[in-house]
Amino acid sequence: MENVENVIVTKNLTKVYQMGVVRVHALKEINLTVQRGEFVAIMGASGSGKSTLMNMLGCLDQPTSGDYFLDGKNVNSLDKNEYAEIRNQKIGFVFQGFNLLARTTALENVELPLMYDRYNRIKEPHKAAKSALERVGLTDRMNHLPNQLSGGQQQRVAIARALVTQPSILMADEPTGNLDSLNSIEIFSLFQALNQEGITIVMVTHERDFADYATRIVEMRDGHIRRDWIIQNRRNAQADLVQYKANGSETEEIYEQN
Ligand code: ADP
Ligand code: MG
């Protein structure tokens, strides 16, 4: 039995994609441990395997070989239903492209994952969805359709949808990849608050400045972990937000001063 405080443990996690005669080694024997309460930023060049790793960790896809222990349980040994169940129970996943249903209100989008909640862990779906939207600051936008919301608001709906099942881990693959600086910092401010409340976070980000909102950076290269370190001078998104709003759009200035 693995130590339960290690929420994520991978042992030689490997993923090979077969494309006709070409084999792409997207992940090469990744050994990664994430403890409960950490906020990990995964960085690395395009094609280095970040999304592949997130998909394995988020139980969206199975590795070719190696093991993945989630909360001490080897998820690769589970059958299809158990696998889906553990994902629904423990993980909230946020995508770069929001992935909201178009002709569906914010509230209905957030309620959606609860329809798959086979054990009815959440007793009052409507209420739970409302409070998730309140948590992300969208109390007055619940009945809006996605196209009536800004990009930042749409991503917050997607975060509410990820939170509505009360996961212990939030995973996000370039959650601010489609957002401008102000909206990005707002999302990181929300992530820092959620992390403060005890949710473990693993996210991919392209930008070093944004990675500094995390507590730890894992840098990937060619399917390997190249570097893995704890952030010494962690940035505070709430403070950056205040400064950003005071300075207008001078983000470069904010990052230089810190
Ligand atoms: P990143 O997110 O860091 O940009 P990815 O994990 O998306 O990297 O990709 C890692 C490698 O695996 C790349 O060479 C990419 O082309 C390849 N790859 C990713 N997904 C697939 C797939 N579904 N089929 C084949 N190759 C893939
Ligand atoms: Mg990617």
Question: Going by DSSP bridges, is the β-strand pair 224-230/73-74 parallel, antiparallel, or unpaired?
Answer: unpaired
Q: Which of 17, 62, 174, 226 to mutate to test the pocket of ligand 1 (most atoms within 8 A of CB)?
A: 17
| The CATH number of domain 36-62+78-257 is 3.40.50.300 | yes
For range 138-145, the mean pLDDT = 97
How far is the C-alpha of 72 from the C-alpha of 31, rounded, in Å?
A: 15
**Average pLDDT value over all residues in the chain:** 93
Q: pTM value? A: 0.94
Q: What is the pLDDT of residue 251?
A: 64
Protein residue closest via CA to atom 22 of ligand 1:
17
Taking CA atoms only, the protein residue closest to ligand 1 atom 10 is: 49
Q: What is the pLDDT of residue 255?
A: 75
Among 179, 199, 183, residue whose Cα is nearest residue 191: 199
Dihedral of the alpha carbons of 62, 37, 9, 46, in degrees to the nearest 10: 50
Phi and psi at residue 38, in whole multiples of 5°? -75, 160
| Confidence category of residue 248, pLDDT binned at 50, 70, 90 | confident
More confident residue, 34 or 244: 34
* Mean pLDDT value of segment 30-45: 98
Q: What pLDDT, on a 0 to 100 scale, did the predictor assign at position 257?
A: 62
> Residue 75: its pLDDT value, please?
94
Give the span between the Cα atoms of 101 and 13, in whole angstroms: 33
Burial class (CB within 10 angstroms; exposed 0-12, middle 13-18, buried 19+) of 34: buried
Percent of the chain having pLDDT more than 70? 95
The pairing of beta strand 65-70 with beta strand 6-19: antiparallel
Q: What is the pLDDT of residue 249?
A: 62
Q: Provide the H-helix boundaries in 118-226.
A: 125-135, 151-163, 181-196, 208-211
Ligand that lies nearest to the alpha carbon of residue 96, given by its number in the listed order: 2
Q: What value does the mean pLDDT take over residues 214-218? A: 98
| DSSP conformational letter for 249 | T
How remote is the CA of residue 52 from the centroid of ligand 1, in Å?
A: 6
Tell me: pLDDT of 1 over 70.
no
Q: How confident is the model at residue 46 (pLDDT cuts 50, 70, 90)?
A: very high
Which ligand has the nearest atom to the CA of 174?
Answer: 2
Q: What is the mean pLDDT of residues 138-160?
A: 97
Q: What span, in angstroms and rounded, lies between the C-alpha atoms of 200 and 115?
A: 24
Stretch 164-176: mean pLDDT: 96
Quick one: which of 65, 122, 47, 136 has its CA closest to 89?
A: 122
CA distance 9 to 230: 17
- Strands (DSSP E) along 96-242, which ranges? 169-173, 200-204, 216-221, 224-230
β partners of residue 27? 15
pLDDT average, residue stretch 85-96: 93
CA nearest to 228, candidates 38, 37, 91: 38
d(CA 229, CA 114): 36
Strand partners, 93: 171
Name residue 2's amino acid: E
CA of 23, nearest ligand number: 1
Report the distance separating Cα 148 and Cα 144, nearest Å.
6
Among 82-86, 101-105, 216-220, which is the least confidently predicted range?
Answer: 82-86
Does residue 200 surpass a pLDDT of 60? yes
Share of the chain above pLDDT 90, in %: 83
pLDDT given at position 221: 98
3-state class (DSSP) for residue 50:
helix
Query: By alpha-carbon position, which residue is closest to atom 5 of ligand 1?
Result: 49
